[in-house]
């Protein structure tokens, strides 16, 4: 049985301060058990004997990879295909209207950002849903940016391959959208996967490397890990990178709070940008 290290008040305080400073994540007292379970594995792998020595190591000798491993260990990645299905139904209607409005334009461009994409089910659902409902998009300049702070889940997402249990609960029409592999796994078709670019991104970084504008942004079940000031900051920045009239989709237990000044609520956890100013293309 692997031993878990004792977590003192001082240790927990240092861990909370570090993950907040690095990733904006606010750890509550309820996360103590998670911290012990996740970080004990890292401490053992480094052959250290306590959380105190681990934190000293990070501060004095830790590399960028060590810092990333610390963040990876403390992030939770729960997701599935077509999670919160009403968002994708709304997206299809919205993009269909955009396509009609842009039909006469020489550059038929569509950009969507999945911020906090985890293991990739969200951006792949976006691509599968839109191409299935709006096949004309195959001839558009259509791209999806998918980002997450956790490098481990980004690597998994980029493989576009999942256990067949991911199909549980999906309709026959949706299960047919995937390729079935000989080993029992499923794979997102290459033509669909090629639309998605996966990048590691810390939402606390300034500035963000992309300029936008994005026609839609999915940032779901990400802000629940932030405190109110950080949420307001992130949602405010998302509003600035959305195209005028673009949509922001957030998680079912989230709200924009002080970051909602640039948006209007149009549906369940669906917000539209109020901005009318033009933005530079990516």
- The catalytic residues are 38, 148
The answer for 47, left when phi > 0, alpha when psi is -120 to 50, beta otherwise, is left
Please name the residues in contact with 257: beta carbons below 8 A apart, sequence gap of 6 or more: 228, 231, 232, 235
Torsion sign, CA atoms 8, 9, 10, 15: positive
Which residues are within 8 A (CB) of 209 and not within 5 positions of it... i.e. 6 or more apart? 201
8 A C-beta contact, residue 52 and residue 11: yes
The tokens for 254 are 């989230």
- Six-digit token pair at 89? 């139904």
Helices 9-23 and 32-45 cross at an angle (nearest 10°) of 90
Torsion 158-159-163-165 (CA) sign: positive
Looking at the DSSP bridge assignments, the partners of residue 7 are none
* Token representation of residue 13: 């305080």
Task: Judge contact between 115 and 198, C-beta under 8 A.
Answer: no
Contact 249, 218 (CB under 8 A): yes
Helix residue spans in the chain (DSSP H) = 9-23, 32-45, 51-60, 64-74, 85-101, 121-133, 151-158, 172-175, 190-193, 228-241
């Amino acid at each position: 049985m692997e031993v878990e290290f004792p977590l003192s008040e001082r240790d927990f305080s240092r861990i909370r301060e570090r993950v907040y400073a690095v990733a904006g994540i606010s750890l509550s007292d309820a996360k103590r058990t998670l911290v012990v379970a996740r970080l004990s594995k890292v401490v053992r792998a480094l052959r250290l004997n306590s959380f105190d020595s681990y934190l000293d190591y990070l501060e004095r000798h830790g590399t960028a990879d060590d810092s990333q491993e610390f963040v990876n260990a403390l992030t939770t990645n729960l997701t599935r295909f077509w999670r919160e299905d009403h968002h994708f139904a709304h997206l299809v209607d919205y993009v269909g209207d955009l396509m009609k409005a842009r039909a006469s334009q020489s550059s038929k461009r569509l950009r969507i950002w999945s911020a906090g994409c985890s293991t990739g089910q969200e951006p792949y659902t976006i691509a599968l849903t839109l191409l299935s409902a709006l096949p004309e998009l195959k001839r558009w300049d259509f791209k999806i940016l998918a980002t997450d702070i956790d490098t481990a889940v980004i690597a998994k997402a980029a493989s576009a391959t999942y256990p067949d249990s991911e199909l549980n609960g999906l309709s026959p029409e949706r299960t047919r959208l995937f390729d079935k592999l000989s080993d029992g796994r499923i794979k997102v078709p290459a033509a669909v996967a090629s639309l998605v670019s996966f990048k590691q991104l810390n939402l606390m970084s300034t500035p963000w490397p992309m300029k936008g504008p994005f026609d839609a942004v999915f940032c779901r079940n990400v802000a629940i890990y932030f405190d109110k000031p950080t949420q307001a900051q992130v949602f405010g920045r998302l509003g600035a990178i959305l195209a005028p009239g673009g949509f922001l989709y957030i998680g079912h237990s989230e709200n924009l709070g002080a970051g909602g000044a640039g948006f209007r609520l149009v549906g369940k956890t669906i917000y539209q940008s109020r901005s009318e100013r033009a933005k530079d293309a990516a």
